[in-house]
Every structure is written in structure tokens, then in C-alpha cells.
Amino acid sequence: MPTERSALAIVLAAGEGTRMKSDRPKALHEVAGRSMLANVLSSAVKAGVSRVAVIVGPGRDDVGAEARRCIPDAEMFVQSERRGTAHAVLAARAAIAAGCDDLIVLFADTPLLTAPTIGAMRAAIAEGAAVAVLGFEAYNPFGYGRLLRDAEGRLVAIREEKDASEDERALTLCNGGLMAIDGAHALRLLEKIDNKNAKGEFYLTDVVELARADGRDAKVVIADESEVLGVNDRIQLSQAEAVAQARLRRAAMAGGATMIAPETVFLSADAVIGRDVTIEPHVVIGPGVTIADGAVIHSFSHLEGASVGKGATIGPFARLRPGAALAEKAKVGNFVEIKNATVAQGAKVNHLTYIGDADIGANANIGAGTITCNYDGFLKYRTTIGANAFIGSNSSLVAPVTIGAGAYVGSGSVITKDIAPDALAVARGRQMEKAGWAASFRLMQAAKKAKGR
């Protein structure tokens, strides 16, 4: 796509999603760890769209906020009445009137659309078409609008099923709903659309016949049926999730990662996974995760908002929460949770440990059962553990506290004060021993029990 061409994407996101049975608007339900709206906007940006207008329903500031989180300069327009897709697009009349080379109409509930497909629609406009419609060959065409072509294969009309003849309903080339329009003529064509049809609505699809009446060509861009899957209920949401996960797994493996049982691994759309990474079964990689080359993620681990350094090892049964940052060859073992903490090169947090709001130095060793006590019920505080420090098992580090480089903490200690480098700190009750006490205690208790009978 020539970079000098401008493009305006209008994203229809006003649907409340009644069939979702949810308090959330449909556009904010998630596929692959991000909202369906965010997925659509991401594809639009990757396809070179320079401006975005989002059509929202009345009072849907939450949808507008999500759009601006993804694209800060996105324009918002309210569709106050529901009178068809063309009516919805014209809610952004001001944005269309401002001018563009390519006008792209997208739906927030079609989250599987890819940037190359948007690019193909834009290319059709660049090649001279007035309209480029995204079509697909339907396994079961029931309910879809049909794409009608002439003997030369040119698109002549889109017929909604309720308005289609019996012969037209037999066609399997269906309308995916998405289209591109020549920006120079888009507003004029859209304003010509009327509502003389079975539903009394303003159909965006009528733009094809109007363009043809002007002597302009309309083209069909073919996509896979899965790419135009619309989400209207929770069942379709799960179908979209399955498609998205299959794509993400293939992309990760094509990029050099090994997945032993890929069907059990779940990825977010923004995951960055390096070469020679190994991901064992039953791993969840949530939003905001980066995994560098050669890292190993063992089974039943959950990562979100975390970065994993080159050659690091995670799990099994580990949890990395937002802000966890592991350096090269760091190790986080089984039943360990890391939150808002850095683990420097070669450091080990092997098992049964909680590290929150902390910085762990290079090659430090954190023993089993250690916790950083980072929260007093009101505020959170930070723990700093120096390089090569050794924290004995079952220790509690009460923040704010600093443990110097090379220092040792005796097992079972509760540390409340800073420890100097290379020092030993032991903070626990002194052990005492009473010879023969246990034998005497048993005899006494046995006598009491016998007397009670």
C-alpha cells in the first residue's frame, strides 16, 4: 500500500451485546487478552490507517475510553438511533467530510480481521475501485448477505437474505460486512442510501449498486471465513478465541519457539516470544509479557505484565505478576510468586516463596518459604537484596529493608532492620532443650487419659 495514501477507519462499536448476557458492552469483551475493539484497532493501525473514528452508543464512555487507550487521538461519534449500518457510518459525517483517500468500515465485533486483509481492500481502492467489499465462501450461508457478480466477475450488488430471491440465496459467496470506499466519493454515496427494504433500515451494502450506477467498479476481496467471524454471544466469543489462539501458537512456533502441547498453551495477542524458548503444557501468558531467547517456561505457570530474560527458567507452578522483571539466567521455581520486582542475572528463587516490591541482586539465593512483607494495610514498601546474598528458608523480610551484598540470613528469621554486606543476621527465638521432658509428658498424659475412662 503506497504510504502517501491517507485512510480513515470508521469502527462501528455501538452494539450493547444483548445476547452476550453481560453488563459490559460487546466491544469490550476480550479475545486473546485484549478487547475486541482493541484487536480491530490494532489491525487498522498495522494496515496504515492514519485516522480512526469510533461509533459508540449513548453514554458509552467506557467504549470511548478503551478506544483512546489504544489510539489517543481517535475521534468519538455517538449513534443515538439504530437505523442500520449506513446510518451508523454517517454518525461520523464530520470525519468523512474532512477527506481521505480510503474510507475503511470495520466492526468492533469482528476481532479476527487481519492487517493484510485491510491492506488488500485499500489496494483495491488504490487500483481504481469505488468500493471494495470483503467476502468469503460460507460453509453455511444462511443469514448472510449474498455477493452478486456479473458474467465478468464484477460485483454488482449485495443482497440481504430477507430481500434475496431463491436463486440468490443459493449462492455461497457472502458478505463479510467490512468494506473500503473511495474517500473522494464516500460521503456523496453514503448520503444517497435509502431505507426502502424489508427492514426499513439504511443498508451500507447499498453503496455497491449506487457506485455501479455512477459507472464505477466494485470489487470483492476474499478472506477466510474465520477472519470475518462476528461475535454476538459467548459461544461465538469462544470460537473467536480458539481461532486467535491457533494463530498465536503458530506464529510463536514459526518464530522459533517450542510448544510441547500447543493446544494447552494460551497466549495474549501482544506476547513477544523469542527464539529457542520452550513452553511446556498448561501455561498461560497474559497481556504484556516478553520472553527472551532460550528461556524455559515449565508447566502450569501463569505470566502477566512480566519480562523474562535470556535463558531464564520459570516454574513449574510459578506466577509472574505485573512488574516482574527477570534478568538473564534467573530462576523462579515451583510455587513462587513474583510481583513488581526485579530478579537480577543468575539469581534463584527456587520454591514456595513470595517476592513483591523488591529488587534481588545478581546470583542471590532465596530459600524456600521466604516472603517479602511489603504491605502494612495502607502502603507498600520495597525490599532490596544485594548480589550474592543468601536468604535462609522460611524467612520473613519486613519492608522497607535492605540486605547487603553477600549477607546471610539465618533460616526462620524475621528481618526488620537493614543488614550490612557480608554480615550474618539471625532473628529468631533461642533454642532450648530439656532432657527427658517428652517421655515424662507422655506418661503424664497417658495417666490422665486412663483415669478419665
* 55 neighbors 156 (Cβ within 8 angstroms): no
Which one-letter amino acid corresponds to residue 112? L
CA–CA dist 9, 4 (Å, integer): 16
Q: Which of 159, 153, 157, 207 is nearest to 180 (CA)?
A: 207
Instruction: Tell me which H or E stretch contains 67.
Output: helix 61-70
CA–CA dist 91, 191 (Å, integer): 11
CA–CA dist 50, 83 (Å, integer): 28
Annotation says 351 is catalytic: yes
Q: Which of 144, 146, 75, 66 is nearest to 108 (CA)?
A: 66
Give me the DSSP letters along 365-403: EE-TT-EEE-B-SS-B--EEE-TT-EE-TT-EEESSEEE
Q: For the beta carbon of residue 190, count every other beta carbon within 10 angstroms.
A: 23
Among candidate residues 29, 282, 302, 351, the one labeled active-site is: 351
Burial of 253 (0-12, 13-18, 19+ CB in 10 A): middle
User: Strand 102-107 relative to strand 173-182: parallel, antiparallel, unpaired?
Assistant: antiparallel
Helix (H, G, I), strand (E, B) or coil at 64: helix
Half-sphere exposure of 211 (CA within 13 A, CB side): 30
- Residue 320 pairs with which residues in a beta bridge? 303, 338
329: left (phi over 0), alpha (psi -120 to 50) or beta: left
* 246 neighbors 265 (Cβ within 8 angstroms): no
* Cα of 178 vs its chain's centroid, Å: 23
* 118 neighbors 52 (Cβ within 8 angstroms): no
Cell numbers placing 54:
469510533
**Catalytic machinery residues:** 351
